[in-house]
Chains A and B, each alone.
Chain A
């Protein structure tokens, strides 16, 4: 990036100087605002990150327990039989989605219409003659399912916030390292040219005056 770059097609006249000064001022104002936005987004990001970390850990612990129960159920009932049993299980409730807004970033909101945690009578298979491990595994996976919804919501929000931070950073940098220096150089350039022209006409006048006086 050349630091001597100036805006093309400017004329060394006062009108263009004024216009360029206005553009410079606007760019500087925009830069400050974007910087503020970026800092606020980063603060928001850290707040949500803390929460997300906790939710992720909680979910993974729950999932680990669920897998332990599943392995027990498979051991006592047989993996294939367990697999075909799942065909008869009642479908869980739908999730409802909505959108929310964090500092201008649209983020998802998710909620299950009803809790995925069910009573054994609601699962749709007859528990008679079945090993209790199956119910236990179902309970733990229902619990994991409930947690995964919050997890999806928060991790997606973080991802979207990150994208917005990156976008804002790019815009701040473009203004700081590209546009603003360019406008500054242009202002300097026009001022220099105007000064030059002023000196020239001053000397011309002086010479004319001298000639006339002689």
Chain B
């Protein structure tokens, strides 16, 4: 399977330098989910940026919950850095039912 990157221009250029061919440059206003769908065939990992994912949170979540294990969607920071706390904090709350500071673990 391949790795695909659906992200802003710089993130895409960076991963293209590393040899990724399945890429799509998109703007924040564009339909993220549709572009993710476009690249999910035979894709193991689908990379997008946290910033884009935050902008389209509901669509991204519905994409994640589609039930197939692959592609795995990974949200990464863009060149401006991390846009949010990682998803991990959220998952801890879900699993344990209480807020646990990740620092404490």
Contact = CB atoms under 8 A, between A and B. Distances in A.
A89 B19 contact: yes
Given A45-B95, A53-B88, A137-B14, A64 B21 contact: no
B88 A52 contact: yes
A145 to B, nearest CB: 5
Contacts of A45: 95-96
A161 B95 contact: yes
Contacts, number: 134
A187 interface: no
- Classify chain A: how many residues form its interface, as a range: 35 or more
Provide the main secondary structure of the chain A interface: helix
A136 to B, nearest CB: 10
B44 to A, nearest CB: 5
B95 A166 contact: yes
B17 A137 contact: yes
Contacts of B18: 92, 116, 138, 141-142, 144-145
Contact of A141 (B15, B69, B70): B15
Interface of A: 42, 45-46, 49-50, 52-53, 56, 59-60, 63-64, 66-67, 70-71, 74, 79, 82-83, 86, 89-92, 94-97, 99, 106, 108, 110, 116, 118, 123, 134, 137-138, 141-142, 144-145, 148-149, 151-153, 155-156, 158-159, 161-162, 165-166, 169
